[in-house]
Amino acid sequence: MRSEVNSKIDSLKEDIIKSTQELVKIRSVEEKGQEGKPFGEGVSDALEKALEIGRNLGLKTGNVDGYAGFIEIGCGKEMVGILCHLDVVPEGSGWTYPPYGAEIHNNKIYGRGTLDNKGPAVAALYAMKAVNDLGFDLNKRVRLILGTDEESGWEGLKYYLEKEEIPDSAFSPDAEYPVILGEKGILNIKIKSLFNNENNSGLVSIKGGNAPNMVPDYCEAVFDIVVNHDEIVSKLNEFKERTGFKLEVEKSGESLIIKSYGKSAHGSLPEDGHNAISQLMVFLSDMISTDDALGKFIKFYKERIGMEYYGESIGCHLRDDVSGPLTFNVGMVNINQNSGEIIVNIRYPVTLSRDKVLNGIKQIIDQTEFRLEEMEHMEPLYVPKNDPLVQKLMKVYREFTGDDRDPITIGGGTYARAVEKAVAFGPIFPGQPELAHQKDEYIDIDDLIKNAKIYANAIIELAT
């Protein structure tokens, strides 16, 4: 590792912390677009702030019509890209510290986006600043590309790729170390049912979840007050004692509300969370015995999804030796007296196809009156282990950490899959918890600085 680079990063530590805090304080959750701000006010503010930081550091910047931005150093025909995003998933509930406070406690910056992906974006930006200031003779340009709706559709990056130059190679600091050479395919589906006003249970609505790619930590069912309160409480207590699940029931005006509490996690790692939607639906299946359309939909959920997260009962229990098992996460539910729908986030193995996944699920759905709709889809990513991009990044990682482990594959999806030759690289070190999309998300300041050093050395390795 180049000691002068590491020393330069150390000298920038306070600026790195300050810039991370400035970005985290902006609630950059996608909202309704407006002129010049296609993903809403907060996302636009975050993009402008990042570009402002880049300009103040003396680097070249560009705003691509509000859909994306870039910050660049170096010269040459070829380009190395660093792919980051500034949008965040909704904050959810139950935070110890304010989700947009960017407060520092025990050497950690807390807040939504600290890890996913504003902290790593700042680390990459200051890595570029260090390399630029030290005058390394780069024969390639290095461009930090800042996307704006990575969490909800990638339209910002797609717009950038249509309007701007595409990197010849790239890495995305939006996952974990060491190099991630494979990312599972991502498929969002919707399972729907129409009830035609058939509802004999007294159920008014079921709502839960903030995004498909989050394990939901809260869901609630609302009933007409005419429902037998004592009977529900008795069944709820028996269910809680038998399962250990956390549910509560309360009266609210003319309604009865059953509240389900789970544990949030990234949608690619449903086993790390506890799905509040699933546990509520399992309970309701035990409680609601009606054979109307609503009852059938809830019963289907229990029998074909339940508390499973590998698709065992719904026809997509698949895996490969490269990337492991498919994961199946119900991220959102919306049921009323007329219709019901669930939105599912699926991560499927890198050597398999979307059609194989969908065909298995369709065989199950086709036996019902429900409808299956395909939503967003992203193909898997796989770069061979002997590719020079992988080899150079692994060299930097091993020199910095002394860790000889091999490259890995993940279920998460990063911007790396948007470029022909790209991989994910950091920021989470082996053994550290995955906090993306969870309450109390944070980045350790020491790790923030380590990442900046690794990315600076990676830039030199790839661009000289």
Catalytic residue numbers read 87, 150
* Distance in angstroms (rounded) separating the CA atoms of residues 38 and 30: 9
Identify whether 427 is preceded by a cis peptide bond (ω within 30 of 0): yes
Q: Comparing C-alpha atoms, which of 44, 56, 6, 46 is closest to residue 22?
A: 46
CA distance 301 to 292: 14
Show the tokens assigned to 268. 């690619």
| Residue 406 host element (H or E) | none
CA dist 408 and 405 (Å) reads 9
| Residue whose structure tokens are 């086709």 | 366
Strand partners, 443: 109
Least Cα distance to 297 among 281, 311, 277 occurs for 281
Cα–Cα distance measured from residue 151 to residue 85, given in angstroms and rounded to the nearest whole number: 9
Tokens of 122: 């700042």
Report helix, strand and coil shares of the chain as percent, to nearest 5.
35, 30, 40
Residue of 53, 42, 71, 45 lying closest to 152 (CA atoms): 42
Q: How far apart are CA 329 and CA 298, in angstroms?
A: 16
Per-residue exposure over 86-116, b if at least 16 CB sit within 10 Å of its own CB, e if not: bbbbbbbeebebebbebbeeeebbbbbbbbb
